[in-house]
Amino acid sequence: RIMRPDDANIAGNVHGGTILKMIEEAGAIISTRHCNSQAEEPCVAALARVERTDFLSPMCIGEVANVSAEITYTSRHSVEVQVNVMSENILTGAKKLTNKATLWYVPLSLKNVNKVLEVPPIQYTRKEQEDEGKKRYEEQKLDRLETKQRNGDVIFPIINPEPHTVGYSQSSLIHLVGPSDCTLLGFVHGGVTMKLMDEVAGIVAARHCKTNIVTASVDAINFHEKIKKGCVITISGRMTFTSNKSMEIEVFVDADPFVDEPRERYRAVSAFFTYVSLSKEGKPLPVPQLLTETEDEKRRFEEGKGRYLQTKAKRQAQMQQAAQQ
């Protein structure tokens, strides 16, 4: 689909959240179709997890986004989908790979939303494909268990914060979940949540560095809990770490089923977004250092630094590998 002015920021770069939403829609369609192909009963695929995603090149207003999706692994109760996004400038014909993402879906029965159905197995052309898929499946399962720990955290508001402190840029957004945000089951599309998360992360980043910013990557996101139509969701973001040219923002989504539900507010999703600051010519700019004040802020900064260095090391290893081939 063609990128419109509302899909983009003032500098004309398409919001990462718009791309994440398209990716998730493609993933939801292909996995719902697959899970209904040998259906015991009709079902809808619900997003369980998105693997770490890099935004390889910014997309602009007027470009066409081509999204392609493929099922790459199935376990008994989950589907792995690989989605590629290409941006195409239809005036020059130039095409670029914008994004590669891996998503995990779980089929939920249309009749009973708490029932997880079985997934029809796919055929692999080579045995290694199945083995590699199984390895990815086990890894993400482990990671999902770990992130459950992080969920207790709350963002406290700060009065009259100093520039470049954590409190200065932290931001919250509330959203009333409407019908067009939801699947046939009446739960929020994972892509809608990711779009709102990117919006908050982008506001945090822009408040911190007061320049044009774009999403560089998103850490793995786990969707622990479904969010129902009619909920109010609060999406909160705070900066956790800055390197010379990047900012890491932690984003939480809390759901408040405030009408005719006995349930308390709960943490539905959390994730780390990485942003970079761009000059008018599209070159990366240095980022003001984040000033940490409390012990918690200092600890989170160090943890962010750890993630940053790990990612950097991984990327260098990949580049060396690629160079040797």
- Annotated catalytic residues are 9, 198
**Smallest distance, its own copies to C-beta of residue 242, A:** 17
206 versus 253: smaller Cβ distance to its own copies: 206
Q: For residue 12, what is the DSSP state? A: S
Tokens of 199: 């919006």
Quote the CA–CA distance of 43 and 41 in Å, as a whole number.
6
Strands (E), 52-194: 53-54, 64-74, 79-88, 95-109, 171-176
8 A C-beta contact, residue 28 and residue 105: yes
44 versus 48: smaller Cβ distance to its own copies: 44
Residue located via tokens 């900064």: 301
Contacts 24+ apart (CB under 8 A), 122-126: 122/34, 122/71, 122/73, 122/74
Which residues are near its own copies by CB under 8 A?
1-2, 4-6, 9-10, 25-26, 28-29, 32-33, 36-37, 39, 42-44, 61-62, 64, 88, 90-93, 110, 156-157, 159, 163, 171-176, 178-180, 182, 184, 199-200, 202-203, 206-207, 210-212, 229-230, 232, 256, 258-261
159 versus 323: smaller Cβ distance to its own copies: 159
64 versus 113: smaller Cβ distance to its own copies: 64
Quote the CA–CA distance of 34 and 45 in Å, as a whole number.
9
63 versus 248: smaller Cβ distance to its own copies: 63
State how beta strands 212-218 and 53-54 pair: antiparallel
- Percent helix, strand, coil in the chain, to 5, is 35, 35, 35
Please spell the DSSP secondary structure of 215-227, one letter per residue: EEEE--EEE-S--
Quote the CA–CA distance of 46 and 39 in Å, as a whole number.
16
Q: For residue 75, what is the DSSP state? A: -
77 versus 207: smaller Cβ distance to its own copies: 207
Tokens of 46: 């619900």
